[in-house]
Structure 1
Amino acid sequence: MNCPSDSMLESYLDFPQCWNGKDLDSPDHKSHMAYPVGGQCPATHPVAVPKLRQVLRYPVNGDPARLKLASGAGHTMHGDFFNAWPEDEMARRVRDCINVIVKCGPDGRP
C-alpha cells in the first residue's frame, strides 16, 4: 500500500512525567525522570510534572516500508527539552493553564 501524495506522518514523543523530587539532572540525563505506570508515578519518582509532548508532522508519499530515519534501523525518535521561556511568562502559563488544568492555545491563554 502506498501513501497518497498529501499524506502526513505524525510522530508523538512524550517526555517522562514523573520526577524523583531531588535531582535536576543525572549522569545519564534521564534516570532522575520516569514514566507513569498504570497512570501513577512510581514510588522512586513520586513527583508528577506537567505532560510535555513533541508532535512532528512530515509530508510523505509512496511506500511507507521505505521510511528511513537518521537514527538507523527501526522507528525511533529523540528529543531534548531546554527551557528558554522568560521566567514571568512561564509562571503565568503555569498559573493560568497548568495549575487550573485548562488547555491553552499557543498564546498561553484559554
Structure 2
Amino acid sequence: MLRLELNDLLECGFELSLTGTTESELSRLSVGVGELEAMPELADGDRSPYRNMTFILYGEQWDIVERAIARATKPREPNNPNRSPQGNALAAICAEYLERVS
C-alpha cells in the first residue's frame, strides 16, 4: 500500500523527500519505476531450466487439482532433475491429458 501511495504522490508532482523516505527505501519499494509492458526476453543461455507457474483456482478446482497431484506424486526418478514432486506430478498429469486429447 505504501508503494502505491508514494507512486500516486510522485505522479502528482509531490516532493517525496518531504515524506522522510530515503532514496534506498524508495528504490526498494520500486517507487517511480513504471510497469513493464512485457517481460524482457532473456538469451537462452541466461534462462534457468526451472520455471515457475502460478495458477488461481476457483472453488472445487482447488480440490480437484490437489487430489490429482496427490494421486500422481511418485518418488523422484533417478534421471529426473526436478526435485519438486508437485511439479513432476503436474507435468505427468498434463502429459497424460495431452496424449488423450491428441
Note whether the superposition's TM-score is higher than 0.5.
Answer: no
TM-score normalised by structure 2 residue count: 0.23
* Structure holding more helix per residue: 2
TM value normalised by structure 1: 0.22
Point out the structure with the larger strand share.
Answer: 1
**Greater relative contact order (Cα 8 A, min sep 6): structure 1 or 2?**
1
